[in-house]
Amino acid sequence: MTSITKAACIGGGVIGGAWAARFLLGGIDVAMYDPHPDAQRIVGEVIANAERAYAMLTMAPLPSKGQLTFCATLEEAVDGADWIQESVPERLDLKRGVLTQIDAAAHPEALIGSSTSGIMPTELQRDMKHPERMFVAHPYNPVYLLPLAELVGGERTSKETLELAKARLAPIGMKGVILKKEIEAFVGDRLLEAVWREGLWLIHDDICDTETLDDVIRYSFGMRWAQMGLFETYRIAGGEAGMRHFLAQFGPCLSWPWTKLTDVVDLDDALVDKIAGQSDAQSGARGIRDLERIRDENLVGIMQALKAGDGGKGWGAGKILAEFEQHLWAKGGGAKAAPDIAAPLRLVDTRVSAAWVDYNGHMTEHRYLQVFGDTSDALLRLIGVDFAYVEAGHSYYTVETHIRHLGEAKLGQSLYATLQILSCDEKRIRFFSTIHDAATGKALATAEQLMLHVDSKAGKSVSAPADVLSRLTPIAQAHAELPVPDGAGRSVGQR
């Protein structure tokens, strides 16, 4: 994958701060320029939220966080950067001026993305000397979690620039989607404006209040959109006859029409007061950072659920997350210092995410198994059983598990897991893992498991190859010197 080595963020508000968080947590150094006196505080708060979200999002080894530098001038910030992201307020004259200033100071090869929500890139690049490397990279808030950037070129943007931008976003977990033509507001904001416009009319006409409108979205098609978008959803709605039938059935209503999409609602004081009042009643009890944290927890939960979609291959944004994690494992998974084999191996450090908690407020049962599974996966990587090994047709399968629950893990609690090999031969590994509270080291759960080495295509167990055994055996020999852990070999219900 093509990587960004240094990013510059020009403008550090809602969007610029979240771009910075995406880069930093992807291991990229960021130079920020924003003249606002509170910029450092605001960006710091966004990054704190992003770090909290990433701790819940993935167990994959994130790279060491990049370094954030606040610069006194734009020129200082763009110096040496190979990705520059402009996120200043949405005014053509301001953006044009800033982009021209970036163009003059940046390395000619550096890519320059604008976060604009709707201005055409041809307009933005008008005064630039190297316009071929300038494009729109329109993200969605929070940029550090939502993977999409709409990539839009202007008349003078080169095709290679858009392809390169797409390639550079992938290693930081983003999905660049290249639009075929530039258009004001691109694809996402065109669609959102239609919903927004209609929503304003529904409030204006007293059909419902803001809370009811939001409920209609989040209890129904909002959930469908998150995983299948519009056309795939409607294909299913057409039943076995599919999309043609759907178009024939619902197409004619478009000419009635149901909506007021072409009318512009007058956002006069009365309507602004009405919407703001209803919104205060709906959500005013919580502060913005609080709402952001709830949003992030929900988004993490949705992305994790989608990662399990399509039989575990990942679906929609969950597929992007799965690909991001594969990239992280490939980069960082094996690179850590070899663990001390004279003690149980500490293989996983994690935190209880919101999506892991049940109605008791504790980590739900199957998440213990997930952490134990991540622990045994980490052992496998250590002995050379990685993605490439599995793709080539061999793996270890878990054939037996006995979990004991000894304590409670609560939302946000930091945990780590250790693993001790009890015995092994050419086909089998029997091992004992323990989930600990990171603050006290106290054991919260243990699992004794047996894995079999398999030829996954033939569907039968076979001996592991010599190179895998040569990595496994020294660990097993060292662990044979350790005391047998309390609870090993125990059957269910035994005192």
Ligand X SMILES: NC(=O)c1ccc[n+]([C@@H]2O[C@H](COP(=O)([O-])OP(=O)(O)OC[C@H]3O[C@@H](n4cnc5c(N)ncnc54)[C@H](O)[C@@H]3O)[C@@H](O)[C@H]2O)c1
Closest residue by Cα to residue 308 from 370, 359, 391, 389: 370
58 binds ligand X (CB under 6 A): no
Residue 434 near residue 446, CB atoms below 8 Å: yes
Q: Any bridge partners for residue 86, and if so which? A: 10, 114
Closest residue by Cα to residue 45 from 292, 412, 351: 292
Q: How far is the CB of 117 from ligand X (least distance, A)?
A: 3
Q: How far is the CB of 19 from ligand X (least distance, A)?
A: 9
Residue 40 backbone class (left: φ over 0; alpha: ψ -120 to 50; beta: rest): alpha
356 binds ligand X (CB under 6 A): no
34 binds ligand X (CB under 6 A): yes
Closest residue by Cα to residue 369 from 318, 405, 410: 405
**What letter would DSSP give residue 258?**
-
314 binds ligand X (CB under 6 A): no
From the list 56-64, 84-92, 313-321, 357-365, the region that binds ligand X by CB under 6 A is 84-92
Measured N-to-C along each axis, helices 188-204 and 269-283 cross at an angle, to the nearest 10 degrees, of 100
Instruction: Tokens 């699992």: give the residue.
Output: 447
Distance CA 26, CA 168 (A): 11
Distance CA 214, CA 482 (A): 58
Hey, what's the torsion of the CAs at 93, 97, 102, 105, to 10 degrees? 170
186 binds ligand X (CB under 6 A): no
318 by DSSP, 3-state: which?
helix
Query: Which pair of structure tokens corresponds to residue 49?
Result: 């939220």
Name which position in 58, 85, 117, 278 contacts ligand X (CB under 6 A): 117
Distance CA 327, CA 313 (A): 15
Considering the complex, state which of residue 15 and residue 164 has its C-beta at the smaller distance from ligand X.
15
Closest residue by Cα to residue 397 from 370, 373, 416, 381: 373
Angle at 327 between CA 448 and CA 382, to 5 degrees: 35
From the list 27-35, 168-176, 331-339, 409-417, the region that binds ligand X by CB under 6 A is 27-35
Considering the complex, state which of residue 14 and residue 226 has its C-beta at the smaller distance from ligand X.
14
Considering the complex, state which of residue 78 and residue 363 has its C-beta at the smaller distance from ligand X.
78
Q: How far is the CB of 260 from ligand X (least distance, A)?
A: 24
Q: How far is the CB of 130 from ligand X (least distance, A)?
A: 19
Name which position in 3, 14, 63, 215 contacts ligand X (CB under 6 A): 14
Name which position in 5, 36, 340, 482 contacts ligand X (CB under 6 A): 36
191 binds ligand X (CB under 6 A): no
Closest residue by Cα to residue 444 from 391, 405, 410: 405
160 binds ligand X (CB under 6 A): no
Residue 219 near residue 212, CB atoms below 8 Å: no
350 binds ligand X (CB under 6 A): no
Write the DSSP string, 75-117. HHHHTT-SEEEE---S-HHHHHHHHHHHHHHS-TT-EEEE--S
249 binds ligand X (CB under 6 A): no
Query: Which residue's C-beta sits nearest to ligand X?
Result: 13
Q: How far is the CB of 425 from ligand X (least distance, A)?
A: 57
Q: How many residues bind ligand X (CB under 6 A)?
A: 23
From the list 86-94, 161-169, 308-316, 400-408, the region that binds ligand X by CB under 6 A is 86-94
Q: How far is the CB of 115 from ligand X (least distance, A)?
A: 4
From the list 8-16, 179-187, 445-453, 469-477, the region that binds ligand X by CB under 6 A is 8-16
Binding mask 87-106 for ligand X (x = CB under 6 A): xxxx-------x--------
Q: How far is the CB of 125 from ligand X (least distance, A)?
A: 15
139 binds ligand X (CB under 6 A): yes
Name which position in 4, 8, 10, 137 contacts ligand X (CB under 6 A): 10
147 binds ligand X (CB under 6 A): no
344 binds ligand X (CB under 6 A): no
Residue 185 backbone class (left: φ over 0; alpha: ψ -120 to 50; beta: rest): left
Site of interaction with ligand X (CB under 6 A): 10-16, 33-36, 39, 87-90, 98, 115-117, 138-139, 141
